[in-house]
């Protein structure tokens, strides 16, 4: 049974570019949350998708957007990249209203 | 504002020592509390969780945590640590009907063999 998978593993972009990160949830899970983890800090909640809708959003600008597909997989898009967007981006999946979240390995984004 | 504070950023212990990692939160209302662990080179994984009931919860690998509502605390404990417990430990909280997890900054634990 595959856990949460994310792609790509690493990504290098330059300022101003756009990036798309992908996540496949654990089998049986229908909810996907995205987090940003800067070096030396805990994860920061970006948003959560459920039933293909953004259910809740953290304190991130509109440059951060997402999508959830009918098969529950999800994408995180970041436009107009800034140096400060360099971080580990984590995807977590869960079921419906369950609080326990299962995490993927993350995508390390470096913005030069 | 909702927040989670972990008291120590780095802890170094010898094998067989007892461990207590502090976690305090600021959150109005009913809370759900979690400890996650990240072993070197691995994903974040759930160590234990508290939703309701007995405030002393037991998790994997001999870890336990106690929820003290009056102190807004959820400290993690282990009576005797092993070298394999070397990892980073994160405390997190959310509230009922609030889907986002609020995280502490993490505690890096190093166990000397």
The string of DSSP letters for A18-84 reads -EEEEEEPPTT--EEEEEEE-TTS--EEEEEEETTEEEEE-S--TTEEEEE-TTS-EEEEE-S--GG
| Angstrom distance (rounded) from CA A43 to CA A87 | 10
Q: Tell whether the model's pLDDT for residue A97 goes beyond 70.
A: no
| Minimal CA separation from B12 to chain A, in Å | 17
Comparing CB atoms, the residue among A3, A45, A105 nearest residue B101 is A45
pLDDT band at A99 (very low <50, low <70, confident <90, very high): confident
DSSP state of B101: P
Instruction: Check whether A15 has a pLDDT greater than 80.
Output: yes
Q: pLDDT above 90 covers what percent of chain A?
A: 90
Q: Is B72 helix (H, G, I), strand (E, B) or coil?
A: coil
Indicate the helix (H) or strand (E) that contains A10.
Answer: strand A10-13
Closest chain A CA to residue B34: A100
Nearest chain B CA: its distance from A110 CA (Å):
18
Is B7 a residue whose pLDDT tops 90?
no
For residue A6, list chain B residues with Cβ-Cβ distance below 8 A. Answer: none
* Minimal-distance CA residue of chain A relative to B49: A100
Q: For B9, which residue in chain A has the nearest alpha carbon?
A: A40
**Paired sense of beta strands A102-103 and B73-78, if any:** unpaired
Smallest CA–CA distance from A56 into chain B, residue:
B99
**Residues of chain A found within 8 Å of residue B101, distances taken between Cβ atoms:** 33, 35, 43, 45, 101
| B21-63 tens-digit pLDDT | 999 999 878 889 999 999 998 989 999 999 989 999 999 999 9
What pLDDT does residue A110 have? Answer: 98
Q: What is the pLDDT of residue A1?
A: 61
What does DSSP say about strands A64-68 and A53-57: parallel, antiparallel, or unpaired?
Answer: unpaired
- Please write the tens of the pLDDT for every residue from A34-75: 999 998 899 999 999 999 999 999 999 999 999 999 999 999
Name which of B44, B45, B59 to mutate to probe chain A: the one with the most chain A Cβ atoms within 10 A of its Cβ.
B44
User: Which residue in B25, B39, B100 has the most chain A C-beta atoms within 10 A of its own C-beta, making it the best mutation to test that interface?
Assistant: B100
- Per-residue pLDDT at A59: 93
Is B81 in the A-facing interface, judged by CB distances under 8 Å? no
Would the CB atoms of B99 and A106 count as touching at under 8 Å?
A: no
Q: What is the pLDDT of residue A98?
A: 63
Half-sphere exposure of B65 (CA within 13 A, CB side): 29
């Amino acid at each position: 049974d595959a856990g949460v998978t994310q792609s790509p593993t690493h990504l290098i972009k330059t300022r101003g570019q756009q990036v798309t990160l992908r996540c496949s949830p654990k089998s049986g899970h229908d909810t996907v949350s995205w987090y940003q983890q800067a070096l030396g800090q805990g994860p920061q909640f970006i948003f959560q998708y459920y039933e293909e809708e953004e259910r809740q959003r953290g304190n991130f600008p509109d440059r951060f957007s997402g999508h959830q597909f009918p098969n529950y997989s999800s994408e995180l898009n970041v436009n107009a990249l800034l140096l400060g967007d360099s971080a580990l981006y984590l995807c977590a999946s869960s079921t419906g209203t369950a609080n326990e979240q299962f995490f993927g390995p993350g995508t390390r984004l470096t913005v030069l | 504002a909702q927040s989670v504070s972990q008291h120590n950023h780095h802890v170094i212990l010898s094998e067989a020592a007892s461990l207590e990692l502090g976690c305090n939160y600021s959150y109005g209302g009913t809370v759900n509390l979690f400890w996650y662990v990240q072993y070197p080179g691995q994903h974040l994984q759930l160590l234990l969780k508290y939703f309701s009931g007995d405030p002393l919860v037991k998790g994997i690998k001999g870890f336990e945590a106690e929820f003290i509502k009056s102190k807004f605390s959820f400290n993690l404990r282990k009576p005797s640590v092993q070298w394999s417990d070397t990892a980073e430990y994160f405390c997190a909280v959310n509230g009922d009907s609030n889907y986002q997890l609020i995280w502490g900054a993490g505690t890096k634990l190093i166990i000397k063999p």
